[in-house]
A = this chain, B = another copy of it.
């Protein structure tokens, strides 16, 4: 199902073979967006924009179970969208970098303009 080559230099309209641009990277791109494509995860990320939070605080703010939040945080962490550090018996989570903010902002901008 997957096509072969890919790179990230850009600048290659459609390589003679005809697959399309950056074929393989497109799957990574979809994987990235898929993580932002769930309301629970988006709400978690937005909570973290205000600063680090532990799991139970996020769960409380979102009125969801600790388990549900923890599962989603695991996905976000795997994708390096959030970081975590132990603090006593709590785990403090925070946004991994400004990329996350940028992507959320861009998306929110689009949703709000909504021609």
Residues of A within 8 A of B (CB): 8, 13-14, 18-23, 25-39, 41-43, 46-47, 49-50, 61-62, 80, 97, 99, 102-104, 106-108, 110-113, 115
Contacts and interface: CB of A to CB of B under 8 A. Distances in A.
Contact of A43 (B20, B34, B102): B20
A97 B62 CA distance: 34
B99 A62 contact: no
Contact of A30 (B23, B36, B62): B36
A35 B104 CA distance: 15
A30 B35 CA distance: 9
B37 A111 contact: no
Nearest to A45: B26
A108 B29 contact: yes
Contact of A107 (B8, B50, B103): B103
